[in-house]
Amino acid sequence: MTPTPEAITLSRGRRIDLSDPDYYQDLLTGIVEEILHELLELEKLNLESLKPEDSDQVAGITQIRLLNELYYCLGQLRSQGVVIEVKQAIQDLRDYWNRYIDNTKRPAALKFQVDPQEDQVQ
């Protein structure tokens, strides 16, 4: 079994410590925290005051950023011999993000959208 790297770096330079035994949860948490930090800047504009098309654009960009960071991190792990199944990682990140959006009472439009054809993993 390949040992997990001590840390990985997100696309914009922030490092995520992966030294704990539950490194996968730390990975998802780090990605969510990074995107939330970016979202805080946008929230200064009051997302609910945006036109629907602008709000949709913010939600779309947020989802793209989540996926880009996940792919970036999974690529780093894979290059070091740690393989995580991509579809499951996307579902886990989506579920984690959506719970966070619900728990922080942010607009539902920011939730990671699910393809109606996709089977939900419980």
65-117, pLDDT tens digit by residue? 999 999 999 999 999 999 999 999 999 999 999 999 999 888 888 898 776 56
Answer whether residue 121 is part of any domain. Answer: no
The pLDDT tens digits for 20-38 are 999 999 999 999 999 998 8
Answer whether residue 75 is part of any domain. Answer: yes
Using a cut of 0.75, tell me whether the model's pTM lies above it.
Answer: yes
Question: Which residue in this structure is represented by tokens 């200064």?
Answer: 44
Q: What is the mean pLDDT of residues 24-53?
A: 85
Q: What is the mean pLDDT of residues 43-51?
A: 74
Answer whether residue 116 is part of any domain. Answer: no
Answer whether residue 37 is part of any domain. Answer: yes
Answer whether residue 118 is part of any domain. Answer: no
Alpha carbon of 33 to those of 30, 80, 89: distances in Å? 5, 24, 16
Answer whether residue 122 is part of any domain. Answer: no
Answer whether residue 119 is part of any domain. Answer: no
| pLDDT value for 105 | 85
- HSE-up of residue 12 (Cα within 13 Å, Cβ side): 11
User: What is the residue range of 53's domain?
Assistant: 7-110
How many structural domains does the chain have? Answer: 1
DSSP character at residue 83: -
Is the pLDDT confidence value at 1 over 70?
no
Answer whether residue 40 is part of any domain. Answer: yes
- HSE-up of residue 95 (Cα within 13 Å, Cβ side): 11
